[in-house]
Amino acid sequence: PANTVLSVCVLLLLLLAGQQAAAKKYAAIFNFGDSLVDAGNLVVDGIPEYLATAKLPYGMTYFGYPTGRCSDGRLVVDFIAQELGLPLLPPSKARNATFHHGANFAITGATALDTSYFVAKGLGKTVWNSGSLHTQIKWLQEMKPKICSSPEECRGLFRRSLFIVGEFGGNDYNSPLFAFRPLEEVHEFVGDVVNSIGEGIEKLIAEGAVDLVVPGVLPIGCFPVYLSIFRKQPEMYGGKSGCIKDLNTLSWVHNVALQRKIVELRKKHADVRIMYADYYTPTIQFVLHAEKWGMLRQKPRACCGAPGVGVYNFNLTSKCGEPGAYACDDPSNHWSWDGIHLTEASYGHIARGWLYGPFADPPIVGNR
């Protein structure tokens, strides 16, 4: 009987391994989001003169030239595609691209809420929206004739695809933050932002999506752009991290509300897998435990920038890609690329944490 038990155990393990392997076989990835995952949608119609992110040293690490990605190299979605054996997703607006293995609808400046929401609050000037979540979902709907020949075929493809929805929210909160509205007022946006993300998820489920990754927002209080603009009293900074505590609280509150929304949607759509993906925890770890990730232990500092206020190597008048700004010698030992976005090294660590744990609930693929 011991042998029988053993062989049953082995059989079960083989079956589980088979399921794991099956879980990895996505036909396509469809990605939505803002500048954390924009692979070039903003620059397909030519590069606007003012856009520093489309100039070197952006793209220096992996591509060797700027692609429109706001980093020195690959983004989380690029690492996920490569790890799942799929080609890098073309930006959805790319001409003469093929989208049979998916598309990247993300665009710099994107918000969860439509522009009209900000205009109604008198924030039209600080929202720079080139395509909200709901606009990006319309782009997916308009693309369907290019990737499948019937609604049934589309649903079939979407059922075998991975949908990455976000992160959304960062730019929604930037709008009141950069208008210097009081933080209490910014917190009032959270419910509307999270409900809008929830509506987006349900629209994608209605299109046939059954595997959705929903990322939370970054700990914005650790980023040089905010540290340079919002000068606080000494007790407002984390003693170990040097991050602005009340800005990180805003991110935390959003992420808790988003996770609640995901729990609610899981109950409502029992046959759909919705995974929460964490940008917050790994970034805090890069700050507090830099050596563990092969990074320099230092107060938050942009790899690419110019000296400005404080030690952050961030200057609003000389941002990465603009005259007077330079990249550090080795971007892989910094977590912050340009003071606003992350380095390829950071995105690689985060992607692995989403795929295999511990930075996703549940991980996309499961344990290695």
Residue 134 annotated among the catalytic residues of the structure: no
Contact 265, 271 (CB under 8 A): no
Other CB atoms within 10 A of residue 35 CB: 21
Nearest Cα to Cα of residue 76 among 41, 33, 47: 33
Catalytic residue among 278, 338, 346, 349: 338
Catalytic residue among 35, 132, 175, 228: 35
Residue 338 annotated among the catalytic residues of the structure: yes
Distance CA 298, CA 300 (A): 6
Catalytic residue among 211, 341, 346, 349: 341
- Distance from the first to the final alpha carbon of the chain: 31
Distance CA 170, CA 254 (A): 10
Per-residue burial over 349-359, b = 16 or more CB atoms within 10 Å of its CB, e = otherwise: bbbbbbbbbeb
**Catalytic residue annotation:** 35, 338, 341
